[in-house]
């Protein structure tokens, strides 16, 4: 008897890191990946590229900041795949380079802070509330939250990173969601962890970044395929940089 394939949902997977994570997960033979995107044409194009590589990939539109979109996505997922085993919360925004006032905490605009939280924090909570009940129904789940080492409090004194107040505060919120959810899921076979993919050559990271999206996807795949009893509620650095999975301090 063959076991049913695992279903993996990756948010914001039409481009950048989300696309690279989708591709790497779909290369694992027992995983079907659901590519999601708020723009249907871009998501369908991403799905087609992966299908052309012979990978098992489906698509549905998903705007993580929109209640109706999340509800429609969840209903479609239940009706067509009937399960979700892996969730990668990748969709994110970073206002640092487009908003000069982000150079100082004293000039941050509340609207920028709020809209960054809307995507990087509240939307992740919305997705948790929609999809974790499906994981609970089968007592299996692997949740990967894409954070940044800039949101490790110990990184803040370093001159290596931009100040990036709204982005950093939002990813601190995401790390908080990770720790609180892990506490709530204690004793279950649903594991939630956060990781930093490193500075990547994507639209967000820019062309001067040292690493590719494919390299940044490695730790996501590691956390998405943790064995039963694996890490719960931890924050990881990218594997590539340190050669093995290393915990980052919150
Ligand atoms: N690049 C880096 O150096 C770096 C470093 C550390 C952490 N990260 C994190 O890695 C993740 C991916 O970053 P990236 O570099 O791949 O960025 P990116 O190239 O800017 O891609 C961001 C993705 O998020 C999607 N997205 C944004 N808002 C969304 C929404 N409301 N609903 C659905 N999707 C939404 C975008 O969709 P659209 O195409 O529709 O805009 C896009 O697919 C982010 O969480 C980021 O904070 C990146």
Q: For tokens 């004194």, name the residue.
A: 157
Query: Is residue 247 one of the residues assigned to a domain?
Result: no
Give the CA angle between residues 7, 147, 96 to the nearest 5°. 130
- Asked whether 91 lines ligand 1 (CB < 6 A), one says yes
Query: Is residue 64 one of the residues assigned to a domain?
Result: yes
Query: Is residue 250 one of the residues assigned to a domain?
Result: no
Q: For tokens 């930093």, name the residue.
A: 196
Number of domains in the chain: 1
Dihedral pair phi/psi, residue 95, rounded to 5°? -80, 5
Query: Is residue 249 one of the residues assigned to a domain?
Result: no
Tally of residues, the chain: 250
Per the structure, the complete domain to which residue 12 belongs is given by 6-242
pLDDT digits (tens, 9 = 90+) for 58-77: 999 999 999 999 999 999 99
- The enclosing domain of 123 has a CATH number of 3.40.50.720
**Which residues are CB-neighbours of 26 under 8 A, at least 6 positions away?**
8, 32, 33, 50, 55, 56, 57
Does residue 161 have an active-site annotation? Answer: no
Task: State in Å: Cα 14 to ligand 1 middle.
Answer: 9
Tell me how far the alpha carbon of residue 50 is from its chain's centroid. 19
**Which residues are CB-neighbours of 136 under 8 A, at least 6 positions away?**
188, 190
* Mean per-residue pLDDT of the chain: 96
- Asked whether 95 lines ligand 1 (CB < 6 A), one says no
Query: Is residue 248 one of the residues assigned to a domain?
Result: no
Supply the pTM of this predicted model. Answer: 0.97
pLDDT of residue 242: 63
Confidence of residue 4 (pLDDT cuts 50, 70, 90): confident
Query: Is residue 27 one of the residues assigned to a domain?
Result: yes
Mean pLDDT of 193-199: 96
- Which atom of ligand 1 is closest in space to residue 200's alpha carbon? 3
Q: Whose CA is nearest to atom 20 of ligand 1?
A: 204
Query: Is residue 76 one of the residues assigned to a domain?
Result: yes
Mean pLDDT of 22-37: 98
Query: Is residue 172 one of the residues assigned to a domain?
Result: yes
- Which atom of ligand 1 is closest in space to residue 14's alpha carbon? 43
* Residue 121 DSSP one-character state: I
Distance CA 210, CA 18 (A): 18
pLDDT digits (tens, 9 = 90+) for 200-249: 999 999 999 999 999 999 999 999 999 999 999 999 997 766 667 789 99
């Amino acid at each position: 008897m063959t076991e049913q394939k695992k279903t993996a949902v990756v948010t914001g997977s039409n481009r950048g890191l989300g696309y690279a994570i989708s591709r790497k997960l779909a290369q694992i033979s027992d995983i079907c990946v659901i590519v999601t995107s708020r723009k249907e044409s871009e998501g369908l194009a991403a799905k087609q590229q992966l299908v052309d590589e012979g990978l098992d990939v489906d698509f549905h539109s998903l705007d993580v900041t929109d209640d109706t979109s999340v509800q429609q996505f969840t209903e479609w997922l239940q009706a067509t795949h009937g399960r979700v085993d892996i969730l990668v919360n990748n969709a994110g925004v970073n206002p640092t380079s487009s908003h000069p006032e982000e150079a100082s905490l004293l000039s941050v605009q509340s609207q920028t802070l709020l809209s960054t939280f809307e995507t990087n924090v509240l939307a992740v909570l919305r997705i948790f509330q929609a999809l974790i009940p499906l994981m609970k129904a089968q007592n299996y789940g692997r949740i990967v939250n894409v954070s940044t080492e800039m949101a490790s409090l110990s990184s803040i004194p370093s001159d290596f990173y931009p100040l990036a107040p709204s982005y950093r505060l939002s990813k601190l919120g995401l790390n908080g969601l990770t720790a609180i959810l892990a506490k709530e899921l204690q004793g279950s076979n649903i594991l939630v962890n956060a990781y930093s993919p490193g500075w990547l050559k994507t639209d967000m990271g820019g062309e001067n970044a040292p690493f590719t999206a494919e390299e940044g996807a490695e730790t996501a795949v590691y956390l998405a395929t943790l064995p039963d009893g694996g890490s719960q509620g931890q924050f990881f650095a990218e594997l590539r940089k340190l050669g093995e999975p290393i915990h980052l301090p919150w």
